Amino acid sequence: MRTNGQLVDRAVEGFNRRVVALRSSRRWGAAVRRHLTVVTYTGRRSGRTFSIPVGYRRTGDTVVIGVRIPGKKNWWRNFTGEGGPITVELDGGDRTGHAIAREDPKAGVTVTVRLEP
């Protein structure tokens, strides 16, 4: 029997797969890619590689990711303190960078990525 947590995890995985598929869509892809990207990172404790879709804003070589409902998500915690390496899909390819997560009691959690040249 599955627990509620397992059911939620499966639902999130299914949603994420659909979002990633939308980014490749001929009809909707360009519009979706302006607001959603896929980040890939290695978990600090597990050493596993993860790829997830996220909403973002970009200005030059800086990408800002606002983490919605941060208490329910763990991925951003990999970038607290000194931060860490991350890969972001942009402009039809992968860009590497360094991400740092910041918590603000009023604004929530923001992950800022400085892209490498």
What pLDDT is recorded for position 35? 80
What pLDDT is recorded for position 5? 64
What pLDDT is recorded for position 9? 65
Q: Which residues of 21-36 are buried (b: 16+ CB within 10 A; e: fewer)?
A: ebbeeeeeeeebbeeb
- Average pLDDT of the residues in 62-75: 93
- Average pLDDT of the residues in 36-65: 94
- Average pLDDT of the residues in 28-50: 85
The total of other beta-carbon atoms located within 10 Å of residue 10's CB is 11
